[in-house]
Structure 1
Amino acid sequence: MQYLSLDKYRNGVLLAARILLMILFVLFGWQKITAFGATVGYMASVGAPVPAISAAIAVITELGFGLLIVLGYFTRPLALLMAIYTVVTAIIGHPYWGMSGMDQYMAMINFYKNISIAGGLLLLAFTGPGQYSLDRR
């Protein structure tokens, strides 16, 4: 039994999904590149390996890959890479299991938000970008 068919809206919804999923990454990637020194400092504070390289990877992934996914270019492989990146950043950046009180609660929210975003990225990797993309698949 079919409850709701969105097939005729598929390509528009996939475009909207790409944009909505990438807003967070593009905005924060832009912030990271415009305040690169602070980004390196943050990476060091959370124990990221080689903070300057970690910061560069974050900028490339969030801003670069984010914009490419919005355009629908190499969407499937980039969405898969970003899903992995998002889970890794959840583990490194939001280790709620070693905290207590309100800090633990806020980190837990951000951890599971990252995990949920990774789920959306996996769906995008599976479905592809749709017709309104540079990939056109």
Structure 2
Amino acid sequence: MNAAFWLARAGLCLAYVYSGLAKLIDFPAAIAEQQHFGLQPAALFAAATIAVQLGGSVLVLFARGRLAALGAAALAGFTMIATIIGHPFWTMSGIERFHNLNAFLEHAGLVGGFGLIALIALQSPAASESCTPAH
């Protein structure tokens, strides 16, 4: 059961680890992405994004208790903010609105998943340990 919980958390974190590493490897592209969304100073937002994506994922995957909950909460908060900035379906119409609404709702599901991870991690020491990979 421990391996199954860890694999579920890994599935939630996969896109964040990939994105964080891609931004770290190509920092100029990460800066350009922040500029595209009007975030200034772009380099600071790019660095913060990398830190949250990679740091939050490490905590969700390898920490227990409050630290795992902190990582999950950081990724949930980041996802909510990024989704509002990146998928403003309410300003669109037609197929563009349809695609952005779908992406918005999918990201809302990720937020819910991270919320569950945080709640499980905070339940009790036994619950936190049951979500940690076996050694």
Q: TM-score, normalised by structure 2?
A: 0.82
**Residue matched to 1:85:** 78
Amino acid at match of 1:108: L
**How far off its partner does 1:70 sit?**
1.6
Counterpart residue type for residue 122 of structure 1:
G
Deviations 1:90-116 (A, max 9, x none): 111111111233322222222111111
- Indicate the percent of aligned positions where both proteins have the same amino acid: 26
- Unaligned residue ranges in structure 1 (runs of 5+): 1-8
**Hey, what does 2:53 align to over in structure 1?**
62
Residue 110 of structure 1 pairs with residue 85 of structure 2: no
Give a deviation string over 1:7-37, Cα, whole Å, max 9, x none.
xx3x333212211111111011111111211
Pick one of 23, 27, 51 that aligns with 2:18.
Answer: 27
Offset of residue 132 of structure 1? 5.8
How does the TM-score come out when normalised to structure 1? 0.81
Residue 69 of structure 2 aligns with an amino acid whose one-letter code is R
2:34 to 24, 31, 43: 43
CA distance in 2, matches of 1:121, 1:132: 13
Aligned residue pairs total: 126
- Divergent runs of 4+, >4 A: none
CA distance in structure 1 between the aligned counterparts of 2:93 and 2:40, rounded to whole angstroms? 24
Q: CA shift at 1:72, angstroms?
A: 2.8
Q: Give the Cα separation in 2 of the matches to 1:103 and 1:33.
A: 30
Aligned-residue RMSD, C-alpha: 2.1
Counterpart position of 1:133: 132
Pick the structure with more helix per residue.
2
Distance in 2 (alpha carbons) for counterparts of 1:101 and 1:35:
34
Q: In the aligned structure 1, how far is the partner of 2:100 from the partner of 2:23?
A: 20
Q: Which runs of 5+ in 2 are unaligned?
A: 122-127
